[in-house]
Copies of this chain bind each other. A is one copy, B any other.
Amino acid sequence: MSMRAILGSDPHDTAVTFSEPMAHCVVNCYACAEACTVCADACLSEPTVEELRQSIRRSLDCADICSALAGIASRRTGENMAVLRSLLEACAIACRGCAEECEHHAELHDHCRICADACRDCEAACRGALSPVH
């Protein structure tokens, strides 16, 4: 069962509020939430955990925002555009902040490199969903 097949099952498919960029954003939110969850947990297990506190903090925050956005961006009943726009903006900021921190540790830790990449992808997807008509 692919995420895209699921997204395509909504009867509001043609709605301007759920464009291809928004679907791309939802998929990236789930991937980023998972990358942040795994990275926070992996950082916690590292012998150098004391140096990774900021990375853990930002990963936990980023996962929480990505999860909230995935749900909100998936809904098409009614209208809540001002909320969606402000949360897309907040999520882009969270993803960038987490990526910047994890990039400091990317050479030493694969989980930080992969998390930073997922955050950069998700930041771009949020910006893409914000830009067109939206």
> What class of interface size applies to chain A in its complex with B?
35 or more
- One of B10, B34, B77 near A70 (C-beta < 8 A): B34
- Alpha-carbon gap, A63 to B39, bound state (A): 18
Contact residues of A: prevailing secondary structure: helix
Q: Which residues of B contact A35 (CB under 8 A)?
A: 1, 6, 9
Give A67 to B33 CA distance when docked, in angstroms: 10
**Does the CB pair B42–A9 fall under 8 Å?**
yes
Binary per-residue interface labels of chain A (95-114) against chain B in the complex, 1 for a CB within 8 Å, 0 otherwise: 00100000000000111011
Write the A73-84 contact mask toward B (1 if CB under 8 angstroms, else 0). Answer: 011111110110
Name A's B-contacting residues (CB within 8 A): 1-3, 5-7, 9-12, 26, 28, 30-35, 37-39, 41-42, 44-46, 49-50, 53-54, 56-58, 60-65, 67-68, 70-72, 74-80, 82-83, 86-87, 89-90, 93-94, 97, 109-111, 113-115, 117-118, 121
